Amino acid sequence: MDLGLTGKRFLIGGGSRGLGNAIAQVLADEGAKVLLMSRDEESLKKAAADIGKSASYVAVDIASPGAVEKLQTAVDDKLGGLDGMLINAGGPPPGEVLGVTDEQWAQSFELLIGGPIRILRALTPKIEGEGSVLFITSSSVRQPIPNLDTSNVLRPGVAAMAKVLARELGPKIRVNSLAPGRFDTDRVRTLDKGRAEAQGITVEQQVAQMNKQIPLGRYGEPMEMGRIGAFLLSPAASYLSGISVQADGAMVTAIP
């Protein structure tokens, strides 16, 4: 199936690694141009080189002064316009509701909601013709994850923002969210290591415990998420807007 991505231009949040990078790779393989965004310039440089000539990058901390202007300039100079965006922030710190500090709550809000709002406010006017926005959320939007309460509280707000924006930005721009379960990424490996240490077991034993909770019996591979994300961003998904797609191997037991 032709996804209709040839020549399309996308800003990819969190594009230097993990799920964001996987989505960027698939988009580029399908003929799109991608502008990778994160704070780590060295990781971005390597990721862009691995993808090839259709990839460029901009290192920016969206919370810093002048960040939005830097991002706007990069989109103009490196893409020459915009057809879509992947809004993908890093994971907030672990912890329970009352154990997370005020500063951590504020930083997590900025990471997941405040920063993305500024990006969207600045860049949605640059989307030409019919475009698309995709938010990466988490399985926590459907089912809380133990000891990840900043995510449990704030990521459902991100899913709600995507739903609201689908109405506010239509018919020109489609907006969806994608809720991954457990994928084999650096973030999940770090969480597994912490859980293993807390239980006094090996990481391998921790992973085996988690696999038992997933009916498909394994963690997802990043490129599996890459294909789902690229489809949702593509013109092939032209009548999908305002939805949240769960990609979790049937791990979440809630009924959508």
Q: What is the pLDDT of residues 142-159, one digit of tens each?
A: 999 999 999 999 999 999
- How much of the chain exceeds pLDDT 90, in percent? 92
Query: Scanning the structure block, which residue is given the tokens 């807007």?
Result: 241
Give pLDDT, residue 65: 84
Between 56 and 92, name the one with better pLDDT.
56
Residue 110: CB partners within 8 Å, gap ≥ 6?
A: 63
Whole-angstrom distance, CA of residue 60 vs CA of residue 88: 14
Query: Scanning the structure block, which residue is given the tokens 């915009």?
Result: 82
CA angle 19/36/38 to nearest 5° reads: 80
CA 127 → CA 14, 74, 143, 245, distances in Å?
A: 20, 14, 33, 23
For residues 83 and 56, is the Cβ–Cβ distance under 8 A? no
CA 152 → CA 2, 86, 98, 105, distances in Å?
A: 36, 21, 13, 12
CA 56 → CA 2, 33, 92, 225, distances in Å?
A: 24, 8, 26, 21
Cis peptide before 171 (omega within 30 of 0): yes
User: How much is the average pLDDT of 26-52?
Assistant: 97
What is the chain's mean pLDDT, rounded? 96
Whole-angstrom distance, CA of residue 34 vs CA of residue 13: 10
Give pLDDT, residue 255: 81
User: How much is the average pLDDT of 94-113?
Assistant: 96
Between 67 and 6, name the one with better pLDDT.
6
pTM over 0.75: yes
Whole-angstrom distance, CA of residue 37 vs CA of residue 162: 20
pLDDT in tens, 68-84: 999 999 999 999 999 99
pLDDT above 80: residue 256: no
Domains of the chain: 9-181+221-245 (3.40.50.720), 184-219 (no CATH)
Name the band, by pLDDT with cuts 50, 70 and 90, for residue 91: confident
